[in-house]
Amino acid sequence: MLNIGWFSTGRGEGSRGLLNFVQKRLNETGANARINFVFSNRGRGEAEGSDEFFSLVDGFGIPLITHSSMEFRKETGGRFSDHREEFDQQVMDKLAGSEADVCVLAGYMLIVSGKMCRQYPLLNLHPALPDGPTGTWQEVVWELIETRATMTGAMVHLATEEVDRGPVVSYVTVPITGPGFDEYWQALEGQNLGAIKKTKGEDFALFQAIRREQY
């Protein structure tokens, strides 16, 4: 039996959809694997989105382990990056009794330390091609728009200390030009992207179209 550890902040619909899809596929296929635990860096009652995610986890009967990075920040003060290894050590202490042959970072909004990378084989899901933009999915989409990219995709890679640049396990490529895109690219011509970010933000039609092509 392959024991999977699932790391997610659980902020929104994407996190819930991904966990729901994988858990259902494990059940339907009878795979010799299970999600042995879910870890979140948010606590219960901390945010509506993560609470909805936790309800999904509870519904599947998967053990949930939490350690609030927000509360940790309040206790330690200063920049979180200066205390990342300390936080990750606390997380690893909490996970010590939970078996994991591989861990998946699925919407986990923290950068993991080198100590964590060495403790577990961590597979990161990143919404860009191997040589594409790094950062959050929002940052990726805006960079694709800014650089007038014609292709995007998503990849699974081994997490290392170099953010979003570990050894690639698998990736998929999708075009972001042609039907369903060209009219939005044309609408961008002559406009100031900075102004679009301030006025329309993520509701910008091209932003939405590219987001739909990500995982």
Distance of CA 195 to the CA centre of its chain: 27
Q: Which CATH class is domain 2-120?
A: alpha beta
CB atoms within 10 A of CB 84: 18
pLDDT tens, 89-146? 999 999 998 999 999 999 898 989 989 999 999 999 888 999 999 888 899 999 999 9
Task: Judge contact between 58 and 33, C-beta under 8 A.
Answer: no
Angstrom distance (rounded) from CA 34 to CA 191: 49
- pLDDT of the residue at 208: 93
Question: At residue 163, does pLDDT exceed 80?
Answer: no
pLDDT tens, 115-124? 999 999 999 9
